[in-house]
Structure 1
Amino acid sequence: MTDKVKNIAIVIDGLTGGGAERVMLSLASELVVQGHSVSLLSLGNRCDYSIPEGIKMSYLFNHKASKVDRFWQIKASVSKLEEWFTQQENQGKAFNLVLSNLDRSNNLLAKSNVKNVYYIVHNSVEEELQRQKKLGPLSYWYLLKSKQNLSGKNLIAVSKGIEQEVLIGNIIKPKSIRTIFNPFDINDIKLKAAIENPNIPNEPYIIHVGRLAKQKRHDILFAALAQVSADVKLVLLCNKPAKALKLAEKYSVAERLILPGFQDNPYNWIKHAQALILSSDYEGFGNVLVEAIAVGTKVVSTACPHGPDEILTGELTEFLVPRRDATALAKAIDTVLNTKLNLSDAGILNKVSACDIAHQYLSLTKSPSKS
């Protein structure tokens, strides 16, 4: 138990799966372990995760909250958000630190009177905007305004690459920005990796963990698999296995796929893999790379912005390949499968322990933000 209990609120768009959601649950869990009071406020009313014990869970809206920050609703939404914080304060719970995650939460908090807010940037701003352009001018304008709302605010980047991108770019002019890596409970990951699962195949396989989204570039992954000479299957832990199978058929690799669907515990699947592959166009950090290294599984990753080059250092840099290059990815997969690596002393493992990361977040309470 810590000397002085801090009251911390974590605000997020929803809890329907995804990296930011898992990261915040890990952080919240560690803060509770350290004796602090954590309130998790989700805008949307759906939750796909089991909430760790000790976290106070609230939902701001009784629906999925997908449009609550649009111009015709934002004033009422901000009022509802402020009312929630006022109620907490009236119950003797003023927050020492508020952590905002994802665009809708950011948009509401940026226009509110809530104090001590830090906004966490989980992904490449430039890459997200480039992707959004393809969805049309209205979608692009919404995302651009959402990012610009972070100007004048205190930001946390989940990788040094994101911090540099923000500082060099002209989209966000933050009041302050610092990098805090995502937290990982390495011991918990290892414990979950040791759980026996009869569904895990005995034959050699490589693995990809991630939702079926354009950012993750399953097309590049399947094109690379078609060129991999090693006799391995590909386990795909994703949210839309039927759609993934249809895409794999275009690359004539459908018969090499194993599709268990989304797994609440992916770590034992990762542990038994010959290697984990990340084929993304961009990431915020690249959590699955750390998780694989933590359980002793080799990795190959695209050198995408941002995160992988901060995780794969030293001899592991050999397994960073150019983005969108299926041939280079295939060669790296074949190489890693024939390379012995000692991952137990990988430098990244000393930088991401949940305990240390929680302390870095708690240090923000010593100089409270006024925005």
Structure 2
Amino acid sequence: MSKPIILLILKALEGRGAERMVTTLARAYVEMDYCVHVLCLEDTQEMPLDPRVQHHVVPYNQLLFEEESEQAAAYKTVAKRIDNYVLENIGVPDLILVNIYKLNWIMAYSQLPNIVNVLHTALSKQFRDKLATEPAQIIAHLKTIYSAHPCSCVSDGARQDLLALIGNLNRTTTIYNPCDVNEIKKAAAQPLAIEQFGLTVKEYMIHVGSFDTMKNHQDLLQAYAKTERKQPLVLVGKGKLEDDIKQLAIQLDIDNCVKFLGFQANPYPLIADAALLVLTSKFEGFGYVIVEAQALEVAVISTDCPFGPRELLPEKNLVLVGDIEALVTLMNQAITNLDNYKVPFNQQLLPHHIARQYLEFGQVTE
């Protein structure tokens, strides 16, 4: 009897949360003896994929149209191309997990069975600007996409946001992102001479995230500038706002104690050696790095942003978004009493638990 087929679809294997979820889940399904495939629209591969997982690229020749109808027509063509490729090269999957809005839109036109949309963020936050200017059109557009297949959200807050925005148009559930503690600890144990960055073990605080508006580096730097600055602040990531944040560090006269380390394919040695991880996002779907810090027994504090952190951390580890003074206080308190801000890892987030939840939601017989 042939193994059940699991197909995970996303834009590219870039180094962000959704991609981390896909690579972790793919490895879990391989360990559970499924035939696992990852299909991308682009060949970018920053995230390592288990060699037992089959990687496919179906280029979509990205075309962006002003009119939604023209974009929809282009995406219908891409969906048909993906359908044909899957049936010819993979077979009929028993479960298809489709990640990221753009893919959710494309696969709304797919004729393949057993599709589940995975939402990694809150739609009302992702589309805030457009919802302010053209709410009726955007809500109708999102209803078209997310009524096509059952939807799983990576936090309950994101799920409630989905229901509030478009109603209960299909089956929905909350399934948190998986965290492979063993793999993270193994990656964290890889040799990395942090001295090359001018760092000392357990004597710096760290932020890991792309330089975009959502991650809110501005508030982080504004707050850090007002702290006692007992330890340097390390920023790991890349993104379009990186130069702006570097300029802000100079303006605040803290550029001598803020270190920009760029994108790190393996950030875990840096996280493991940090005294404190700080997350200052305006919104999150889940907050992957919080769980990874917990897996490495590192103290964590975060903004109480919609929607993930409050489901992962106690109230004392959280601060309101935009409250710079409260963030200053919390950073000072945490760095002087680290043990008080360490939160045990939730064993239910281990990959095999999460993998089974998707199978149950997709009604796949193991």
TM-score (norm 1): 0.87
Q: CA deviation at 1:142?
A: 6.3
TM-aligned CA distance change 1:286 to 1:91, over 3 Å = closer
Q: Give yes or no for contact 1:44–1:66 (8 Å, CA) kept in 2.
A: no
- Aligned with residue 99 of structure 2, among 101, 116, 128: 101
Partner of 1:181: 176
Q: Which stretch of structure 1 is more off in the superposition, 73-82 or 103-112?
A: 73-82
Task: State how far apart, in whole Å, the 2-side matches of 1:73 and 1:228 are.
Answer: 48
Within a 5 Å distance, the mapping from 1:145-160 to structure 2 comes to 145-146=141-142, 148-151=144-147, 153-160=149-156
TM-aligned CA distance change 1:48 to 1:131, over 3 Å = farther
Q: CA deviation at 1:166?
A: 2.1
Task: State how far apart, in whole Å, the 1-side matches of 2:301 and 2:342 are.
Answer: 17
Q: Which stretch of structure 1 is more off in the superposition, 353-362 or 11-20?
A: 11-20
Task: State how far apart, in whole Å, the 2-side matches of 1:290 and 1:23 are.
Answer: 12
Within a 5 Å distance, the mapping from 1:329-368 to structure 2 comes to 329-341=327-339, 346=344, 348-366=345-363
Task: State how far apart, in whole Å, the 1-side matches of 2:66 and 2:39 are.
Answer: 15
State how many pairs are aligned.
359
The secondary structure found in structure 2 opposite 1:72 is helix
Q: CA deviation at 1:234?
A: 0.4
Q: Which stretch of structure 1 is more off in the superposition, 358-367 or 208-217?
A: 358-367
Partner of 2:79: 81
- Aligned with residue 17 of structure 1, among 9, 12, 15: 15
Q: Give yes or no for contact 1:278–1:302 (8 Å, CA) kept in 2.
A: yes
Q: CA deviation at 1:183?
A: 0.5
Within a 5 Å distance, the mapping from 1:1-371 to structure 2 comes to 5-61=3-59, 63=61, 71-72=69-70, 74-90=72-88, 93-132=91-130, 145-146=141-142, 148-151=144-147, 153-167=149-163, 169-200=164-195, 201-202=199-200, 204-240=203-239, 241-313=242-314, 317-341=315-339, 346=344, 348-366=345-363
Q: CA deviation at 1:248?
A: 1.8
Task: State how far apart, in whole Å, the 1-side matches of 2:63 and 2:278 are.
Answer: 34
The secondary structure found in structure 1 opposite 2:184 is helix
Q: Match of 2:159, as an amino acid?
A: E
TM-score (norm 2): 0.89
TM-aligned CA distance change 1:80 to 1:305, over 3 Å = closer
Q: CA deviation at 1:231?
A: 1.3
Q: CA deviation at 1:123?
A: 0.4
Unaligned runs of 5+ in 1: none
The secondary structure found in structure 2 opposite 1:328 is helix
The secondary structure found in structure 1 opposite 2:300 is strand
Give RMSD over aligned pairs. 2.8
The secondary structure found in structure 2 opposite 1:231 is coil
TM-aligned CA distance change 1:344 to 1:249, over 3 Å = closer
Q: Give yes or no for contact 2:204–2:234 (8 Å, CA) kept in 1.
A: yes
Q: Which stretch of structure 1 is more off in the superposition, 15-24 or 293-302?
A: 15-24
Q: CA deviation at 1:141?
A: 5.6
Q: Give yes or no for contact 1:68–1:74 (8 Å, CA) kept in 2.
A: no
The secondary structure found in structure 2 opposite 1:276 is strand
Task: State how far apart, in whole Å, the 2-side matches of 1:256 and 1:144 are.
Answer: 48
Task: State how far apart, in whole Å, the 1-side matches of 2:128 and 2:74 are.
Answer: 31
TM-aligned CA distance change 1:121 to 1:144, over 3 Å = farther
Residues 266-312 of structure 1: CA deviation (Å, up to 9, x unaligned): 11101111100000010001010111111111011000011111111
Q: CA deviation at 1:11?
A: 1.4
Task: State how far apart, in whole Å, the 2-side matches of 1:137 and 1:350 are.
Answer: 42
Q: Match of 1:14, as an amino acid?
A: A
Q: Match of 1:189, as an amino acid?
A: I
Q: Match of 2:246, as an amino acid?
A: L
The secondary structure found in structure 2 opposite 1:207 is strand
Task: State how far apart, in whole Å, the 1-side matches of 2:264 and 2:46 are.
Answer: 12
Q: Which stretch of structure 1 is more off in the superposition, 209-218 or 331-340?
A: 331-340
Q: Which stretch of structure 1 is more off in the superposition, 122-131 or 83-92?
A: 83-92
Q: Match of 1:155, as an amino acid?
A: C
Q: Match of 2:105, as an amino acid?
A: N
TM-aligned CA distance change 1:4 to 1:354, over 3 Å = farther
TM-aligned CA distance change 1:263 to 1:234, over 3 Å = same
Q: Which stretch of structure 1 is more off in the superposition, 142-151 or 261-270?
A: 142-151
Residues 63-105 of structure 1: CA deviation (Å, up to 9, x unaligned): 4566699533543543443344344435672111111111221
